[in-house]
Amino acid sequence: TEENARRISAALGEPGWLLDERLDAARRYAGLPAETNPLFTTYLDLRAARFAEIEPYAEPVTGGQPSTELPEGAAVLLHVDEGRVAARALSAAARSAGVVVDTFENVVREHPQLLQRVIADGRTLPSRDAFAQVPRAVSTVGAYVHVPAGVTLEEPIVVRWSVGRPGRGLISRTV
């Protein structure tokens, strides 16, 4: 709902353009038909999901300092564990090349033009897909990956989502 989108945006301290993005998605979601096949979407097979038993994280999860240790063989690591950033690290090569891998919250603070250019006006998700509008409206954590044109990293970028706490659901977005 628009109320949920406003609450999450306020809790994250988001700028007006990002709140507008959330509100647009909430309005689109409200005006779109539900998935035509509740057991399968273009994104994943939902047959085993028991939605009535899931309580999504409605607020950002905070607490603890993220690890800055980079695993051997990786250029970048962003690890989100049940909605909390557990680790965030960039190699010197990735950092000097202008690579940005971080949460929406941090990117909005440090590189707002990068995030706004990519997600403004719902460009990254299909506007006529109700399922796609949900994370656009109410995600509590987003991951942003930016590799400048012409940059090649020798090691991989690792974005890891750890979820699975019984009865909880994480609505997230990655661009």
Q: What is the pLDDT of residues 76-87, one digit of tens each?
A: 999 988 888 889
CA distance 99 to 122: 23
Token pair of 153, please?
A: 């990293």
pLDDT of 57 higher than 90: no
- Residue 101: alpha-carbon gap to chain centroid: 12
Least Cα distance to 158 among 72, 69, 68, 75 occurs for: 75
Label residue 118 by pLDDT band (50, 70, 90).
Answer: confident
pTM higher than 0.85 for the full model?
no
pLDDT over 90 for what percent of the chain? Answer: 30
pLDDT of 149 higher than 80: yes
